[in-house]
Amino acid sequence: MVTAIVGANWGDEGKGKITDMLGEKSDIIVRFQGGSNAGHTIINDYGKFALHLLPSGVFYNHTTSVIGNGVALNIPYLFREVKEIEEKGVPAPKIKVSERAQILMPYHILFDQYEEERLGKASFGSTKSGIAPFYSDKYAKIGFQVSELFAEEETLREKIHRVAEQKNVILEHLYHKPALDEKELYNTLMEYKEMVAPYVCDVAAFLQNAIKEGKNILLEGQLGTLKDPDFGIYPMVTSSSTLASYGAIGAGIPPYEIKNIVCVVKAYSSAVGAGEFVSEIFGDEAEELRKRGGDAGEYGATTGRPRRMGWFDCVASKYGCRMQGATEVAFTVLDVLGYLDEIPVCVGYDIDGKVTKDFPTTVQLAKAKPVYEVLPGWKQDIRGIKNYEDLPENCKKYIEFVEKEIETPITMVSNGPGRNEIIRR
């Protein structure tokens, strides 16, 4: 059976923890999109880890970790991560990398930096991991697929020449930066070949066989609905689809095999990077929430940038769940709200004097003002509580209020960062 774990919001919802937790009963965990531009923070018996490319299941002995064809594969980065976890005492993970995954090249990172510099104030707030240039090249058909590392030398050199020819015009005339060296590119690719060779596999065939054998497969999404290039806050989005439906493409499995879609929804809002954020809060109020959030609140796992904070947004989260096709919701980081007397929740957007509960396109979104309903707080630390009935009354009311607004059943409530800090309903 295939389960997707995806985000409803702007990312950082706590997907890593949920994947790590559900990984216990899984055989295979697959990354199907994105790259090293976002991270999952995971706390377990081995310590605290910030994973960027490896799926969150690498900590189990019994799971196979898969990098699907939809991923932006930064090969040296992947191997640094493997080394790092091995150094901390985690048993060597079983890893498979799709032969159809494309390679994130060192120049993608440079182009990402150069473009952000060129845009100056109008920049996207990119993590500068090369993701946008990578996906642009993939669809412009000038990317390098892992399989091409194993092509004839001459074929590969010809392709490198074609790519460098085009890139060098832009480097010289638009960015005024040094040109790419074809020999160096070839050598880099040969180093990558050596690193990745032991792991290369026909991932689609591997996964389709595993499905036939009744294995449990998790698809682990990165970021969330609102960062999807089609359904998010375009253009302040990421460059690959963050939706569960893309899991079929980015892993190479039939779409109808994705039976469960666990949408991770955070009990308040936070976002990294630029873009519309209707329920954003500022000043002391934001600072307090950021501080209370600790690891969950303060800084992005990849960028180390302080996150932008906001109240829970029912409009964005309902849409976030709907576009994911959520079959259930894991509601996370609820423990952090325990300090508040009252908790505002955004239940509608006022756009030109008309209130809507439907998430609009970016142009409309820019005009939206939040309509809040204020719920009573519970003023209690809820960490350590194991049963739903034992939660404070107002806390249950908050959960049930959100559940009604987002129109998706909340089956899990996360009340702490640890693997076992979960309340099942």
Beta bridge partners of 217: 2, 28
> For ligand GDP, which residue of 22, 263, 296, 314 counts as binding (CB under 6 A)?
296
Helix axes 314-324, 393-406, angle to 10 degrees: 60
Has 335 been labeled as part of a binding site? yes
C-beta of 51 vs 104, nearer to ligand GDP: 51
Out of 12, 20, 228, 313, pick the active-site residue. Answer: 12
DSSP letter at 331 equals E
Amino acid, single-letter form, for residue 341: D
Kindly give, in sequence order, each residue whose CB lies less than 8 Å from that of residue 23, ignoring residues fewer than 6 positions away: 29, 56, 57, 59, 60, 63, 218
CB of residue 108 to ligand GDP, shortest distance in Å = 22
Q: Does 17 bind ligand GDP (CB under 6 A)?
A: yes
> Which of the stretches 8-16, 173-181, 200-208, 339-347 binds ligand GDP when contact is defined by CB under 6 A?
8-16
Has 415 been labeled as part of a binding site? yes
Q: Does 57 bind ligand GDP (CB under 6 A)?
A: no
Reduced to 3 states, what is the DSSP secondary structure of residue 1? coil
CA 419 → CA 6, 15, 42, 47, 191, distances in Å?
17, 12, 8, 12, 37
Q: Does 115 bind ligand GDP (CB under 6 A)?
A: no
Has 41 been labeled as part of a binding site? yes
Q: Which of residues 334-373 bind ligand GDP (CB under 6 A)?
A: 335-336
Has 301 been labeled as part of a binding site? yes
Q: Does 391 bind ligand GDP (CB under 6 A)?
A: no
Has 332 been labeled as part of a binding site? no
Beta bridge partners of 86: none
Q: Which of residues 400-419 bind ligand GDP (CB under 6 A)?
A: 414-417
Instruction: Name which of 217, 205, 197 is nearest 78 in CA terms.
Output: 197
C-beta of 221 vs 344, nearer to ligand GDP: 221
Strand 342-351 relative to strand 280-281: parallel, antiparallel, unpaired?
A: unpaired
* Structural tokens at position 403: 């559940």
Has 300 been labeled as part of a binding site? no
92, 54 Cβ separation under 8 angstroms:
no
* Structural tokens at position 153: 């030398």
146, 103 Cβ separation under 8 angstroms:
yes
Q: Does 333 bind ligand GDP (CB under 6 A)?
A: yes
Amino acid, single-letter form, for residue 197: A
Q: Does 15 bind ligand GDP (CB under 6 A)?
A: yes
> For ligand GDP, which residue of 31, 40, 108, 290 counts as binding (CB under 6 A)?
40
Has 228 been labeled as part of a binding site? no
Name the phi and psi angles at 376, rounded to 5: -70, 140
Q: Does 308 bind ligand GDP (CB under 6 A)?
A: no
User: Tokens 């010809």 identify what position?
Assistant: 158
> Which of the stretches 38-46, 167-175, 196-204, 233-241 binds ligand GDP when contact is defined by CB under 6 A?
38-46
C-beta of 17 vs 96, nearer to ligand GDP: 17
CB of residue 12 to ligand GDP, shortest distance in Å = 4
CA–CA distance, 35 with 53 (Å, rounded to integer) = 6
Has 118 been labeled as part of a binding site? no
Based on the residue annotation, tell me whether 40 is a catalytic residue of this protein: yes
Based on the residue annotation, tell me whether 341 is a catalytic residue of this protein: no
105, 130 Cβ separation under 8 angstroms:
yes
Q: Does 36 bind ligand GDP (CB under 6 A)?
A: no
Q: Does 130 bind ligand GDP (CB under 6 A)?
A: no
Out of 40, 52, 108, 228, pick the active-site residue. Answer: 40
| Residues placed in the known binding site for Mg(2+) | 12, 39
Question: Can you give the binding site for ligand GDP, defined by CB under 6 A?
Answer: 7, 11-17, 38-41, 43, 295-296, 301, 332-333, 335-336, 414-417
| Residues placed in the known binding site for substrate | 301-307
What are the residue numbers of the active site? 12, 40
